[in-house]
Amino acid sequence: MKLEIGNFNVKDVVFGNKTSFKDGILTINKDEAIRFIKKDEHITAVDLEIAKPGDNTKIVPIKEAAEPRIRPDGRSTFPGVTGEVEMAGSGRVHALKGCSVLGVGMHYGSFGDGLVDMSKEGAKYTLFSELINICIVADTDEEEERFEQQKRNTAIRIATHKFAEYLGNTVKEMEPEEIETYELAPIVKRKEDLNKLPSVVLVMQPQSQMEIMGYNARVYGWDMNKYIPTFMHPNEILDGSNISGSFMPSSSKWSTYDLQNFPTIRELYKEHGKSINFLGVIMSNLNVSLEQKKRSSIFVAQMAKSLGADGAIVTEEGYGNPDADYILCLRALEDVGVKTVGISNEATGRDGASQPLVSLDEKADALVSTGNVSQLIELPPADKVIGDLKALSRDGLSGGWSYDENLGPSVREDGSVIMENNAMFCGDRIAGWSIKTMKEF
């Protein structure tokens, strides 16, 4: 399969008379865009805001992010979500780089929502402070979940995907500034010199623990709670086959933007033919019961062994209960002779002294940490808030609180914030973006 991603570098985003892209400037007709978003009858109120790197702006509660893209051949950008189910991973897709569409709650937040600070201290914690963010700030008629801590946020999340495709239309007929090409030969038909290199597979564990449908990550529109580990071509993931779910503390998430640009996949491609033979992706899941967890680890290990993998990278979306799936998978791979490295964040408590993962095993001896979800972060007041800052302390966002006997409220009267890293939107960059380093004391 051969995938071409045609890139258009966005230097600025502005509101104007016509939605278009020219000379690096993405212009959006705000009224027309809002009418497009409100075609979904579940969106009851919506506004559009633009946040740029360096702005003294906080954005919260953020529910989803996607990169604006379009397929020149007319196929949907997110098959099974914004259009018909069709195979992703081949052909041409056009991408607006340097910007994202963020789905933001106008009033109500939930457990899995997060915050982005576009400047100062907070900017270093999340990739999205480096992007120009086009924010859909919306309210919905999803009354049954309005005051629930866990929300599907379906209307806002799907609006994010549809609007990303809407903006992608601005470059549908244009010639890209650069083209990235991703191609792998069939595994059994690779050249001898490639087969002599160590063979590596990437194992991905998206969030799929909610047994009630609608909260989990999706693959080709299919809820991944009803899924078993499957071999996928890495191009499929880069090309919109998977979208993010709503369930998981925010710093531990893979947004859809992360999946579209998954840096661990990109790094494996860079090394393919040089230091490794990149076999592809085993798309696994995260489960509820121990039996389900063991079953998935067996599937993963068998596939990796049958594919001829010498090594594997395993990365999980989340922490806590998912750690059991993560460690079982690492052990199962090691048991069949596949040398394995894990990538995850950890939950070592505010003092950094707690056990980092819920489950551990002596065979999980090569682990990469992307940060501590419980790390306390203090942020100064912002000149502007997009969304509702009070949601951080009011609505059960993981990492925020209404009152703590030692720390007081998460959102202070002057607009400054104290929170756990848990609430930083995709803050631990588990997809592979992380710039954090380890220090020994």
Q: Please determine, for residue 345, whether its predicted confidence score (pLDDT) is greater than 90.
A: yes
SS3 label, residue 371: strand
The 10s digit of each residue's pLDDT in 14-27 is 999 999 999 999 99
Q: pLDDT tens digits for 281-302? A: 999 999 999 999 999 999 999 9
Return the closest-CA partner of residue 338 out of 417, 275, 282, 402.
Answer: 282
Q: What is the pLDDT of residue 22?
A: 98
Angle at which helix 322-335 crosses helix 290-307, to 10 degrees, equals 40
**How confident is the prediction for the chain on average, in pLDDT?**
96
Beta carbons within 8 Å of 130's beta carbon, 6+ residues apart? 53, 123
pLDDT tens for 36-53 read 999 999 999 999 999 999
Q: Could you give the CA distance from residue 97 to residue 10 in angstroms, rounded to a whole number?
A: 6
Local structure of 417: helix, strand or coil:
strand
Name the helix (H) or strand (E) containing 316: strand 311-316
Nearest by Cα to 318 from 410, 240, 398: 398
- Confirm if 136 and 101 have CB atoms less than 8 A apart: yes
Output phi, psi for 198, to 5 deg: -60, 130
R_g of the chain computed on alpha carbons: 21
Question: Mind giving me the DSSP string for 284-302?
Answer: ----SSHHHHHHHHHHHHH
Sheet holding 25-28, edge to edge: 12-15, 25-28, 20-22
Instruction: Please give the structure tokens belonging to residue 266.
Output: 């990109």
Mean pLDDT, residues 322-336 taken together: 97
pLDDT at 437 over 90: no
Residue 238, token pair as written in the block: 């880069």
Is residue 438 over pLDDT 80? no
pLDDT given at position 147: 87
CA-to-CA distance for 65 and 157, rounded, in angstroms? 8
DSSP summary character for residue 439: -
**CA distances (Å), origin 13, targets 61, 97, 198:** 22, 12, 44
Using CA atoms, how far residue 292 sits from 43, 209, 213, 289, in Å, is 37, 11, 17, 5
Question: What pairs with residue 15 in β-bridges?
Answer: 28
pLDDT of residue 283: 98
Residue 389 is predicted with a pLDDT of: 98
Average pLDDT value for residue range 196-200: 98
Give the three-class secondary structure for 280: strand
Distance in angstroms (rounded) separating the CA atoms of residues 48 and 13: 12
Phi-psi region of 349 (alpha: psi -120 to 50; beta: other; left: phi over 0): left
Other beta carbons within 10 angstroms of residue 404's beta carbon come to 11
- Residue 441, pLDDT score: 65
Structure confidence by residue, pLDDT tens digits, 214-272: 999 999 999 999 999 999 999 999 999 999 999 999 999 999 999 999 999 999 999 99
pLDDT higher than threshold 90 for residue 182? yes
Tens-place pLDDT, residues 49-85: 999 999 999 999 999 999 999 999 999 999 999 999 9
**Distance (Å, whole) CA 239 – CA 256:** 11
Three-state DSSP at 209 gives coil
The dihedrals phi and psi of 214, each to the nearest 5 degrees, come to 110, -15
Check: CB of residue 348 under 8 Å from CB of residue 374. Answer: yes
pTM higher than the cut 0.85: yes
Amino acid occupying residue 356: P
Helix/strand/coil for 66: strand
Q: What is the mean pLDDT of residues 141-147?
A: 91
* Contact between residue 355 and residue 328 where contact means Cβ atoms under 8 Å apart: no
Q: How many CA atoms lie within 13 A of 222 on its CB side?
A: 11
Per-residue pLDDT of 299-313, as tens digits, reads 999 999 999 999 999
pLDDT of residue 435: 82
